[in-house]
Amino acid sequence: MDGKRVLPGRCRSVLAAVFLLAARYTTMIYFDNAATSWPKPPEVTQAMVRFLDVVGANPGRSGHRLSVEASRIVYAAREAVSELFNAPDPLRVVFTHNVTEALNLALRGLLRSGDHIITSSIEHNSVMRPLRALEREGVGVTVVQCSPEGFLDPSGIAAAIRPDTVMIALNHASNVMGTLLPVAEVGRIARQRGLLFLVDVAQTAGAYPVDVQAASIDLLGFTGHKALYGPTGTGGLIIGERVDQTRLQPLKRGGTGSHSEMEEQPGFLPDIYESGTPNTVGLAGLEAGIHWVLNKGVGAIRNHEITLTRSLIAGLSEIPGITVYGGLDAARQTSTVSFNVTGIEPSEVGLRLDEEHSIMCRVGLHCAPAAHRTIGTFPTGTVRFGLGAFNTRQEIDAALAAVRQLARETQ
């Protein structure tokens, strides 16, 4: 080999990981937590490695000790989800690959031609696309307009209710500008009118208190890879007691490990909605991520992010040529902040922030064109900073300096 030492593939992988971590703790600023949180707590990695190294078996499919341990890990994840959201029955936690699958299960599983559903004008495409498809199949869809800041008046929801309305579906917070929607108030309206209430907590789970009982939530879709600090490929749907399980049809059918003598899908929770081998290694990581959040305290994480968000909004608002979207009130939103630089396309801003300042963010429409139409940024979109529990005030200051430099060039 000409006297050169060649490192084995595993060593090269370890070195690459070391370099990435070194970059994270020196110059890189990661502001894309609204898409996927990073870094993950070390407990998450440890739980996933332990599963692969020590367990590795298929849960619920065999009776040997490794399969039993895998089943225990899956159930522990259900219990962690139940604890976080104050859901009374872990067996009513159905795991999916992400919140999109969970929302599709709720929408496509329950709505039929002739039904009517109400939603808001700042929903993610994980709600809007299934609803538009269902609309073509005879489901009535009413989109209640939010304010240009992204706020929703609950009275608009109440006014949209019709005799054929069966469900209200809302995100808890916008993934574009972080605006919080009044889910508790809407939940009371839904309960008073006998309607099902579906809430997408992709942006709030782990970063803002969510209580399915206090907010009268019947169906809660969550994802594991954002503020729950778990891995991608994890998520789920909590199914409340008011949901008619005979009406909620599965998206898929197949092996569950239970009642294998039958060629019909089992009719009990959670098996009826969990066909196929689960992402057990991912659920091990999810359970660890949720417990990390619980140990830190959702309230403490929320307070940290409010402090950072308030500083970010104030700093951006002081820069000439910068437009910040939303209510500009850190207490009424998550730690997601969208803005634009006058005279520079969002795509160019994002590229330059990455290449010149090592700031990772997201640009464009963020899979939520309805929200951008609401706030007036369609079709170009915005630059989005998504903060997380690991971000610092020093990173906020560095990012503000970078944006200030870019904006100065347009003056």
The separation between the first and the last C-alpha atoms of the chain, rounded to the nearest angstrom, is 57
Cis peptide before 39 (omega within 30 of 0): yes
- Structure tokens given for 137: 């199949």
Are the C-beta atoms of 360 and 354 separated by less than 8 Å? yes
Phi, psi dihedral angles at 153 (to 5 degrees)? -90, 120
Q: What is the rounded distance in angstroms from the CA atom of residue 236 to the CA atom of residue 171?
A: 15
Q: What is the rounded distance in angstroms from the CA atom of residue 288 to the CA atom of residue 42?
A: 9
Determine if residue 326 is left, alpha or beta; phi over 0 gives left, psi from -120 to 50 gives alpha, anything else beta. Answer: left
Catalytic residue among 11, 146, 361, 367: 367
Residue with tokens 């500009």: 328
Q: Smallest Cα–Cα separation from 171: which of 236, 107, 125, 124?
A: 124
Q: What is the rounded distance in angstroms from the CA atom of residue 49 to the CA atom of residue 84?
A: 24
Other residues' Cβ atoms within 10 Å of the Cβ of residue 2: 3
Q: What is the rounded distance in angstroms from the CA atom of residue 236 to the CA atom of residue 74?
A: 12
Q: What is the rounded distance in angstroms from the CA atom of residue 367 to the CA atom of residue 376?
A: 15
- What does the chain come to in residues? 411
Q: What is the rounded distance in angstroms from the CA atom of residue 295 to the CA atom of residue 183?
A: 25
146 is catalytic: no
Helix (H, G, I), strand (E, B) or coil at 283: helix
Helix (H, G, I), strand (E, B) or coil at 196: strand
Q: Which amino acid is at 39?
A: P
Cα-to-chain-centroid distance, residue 73: 22
Cis peptide before 209 (omega within 30 of 0): no
Helix (H, G, I), strand (E, B) or coil at 202: coil
Looking at residue 41, the DSSP 8-state letter turns out to be P
Active site residues: 367
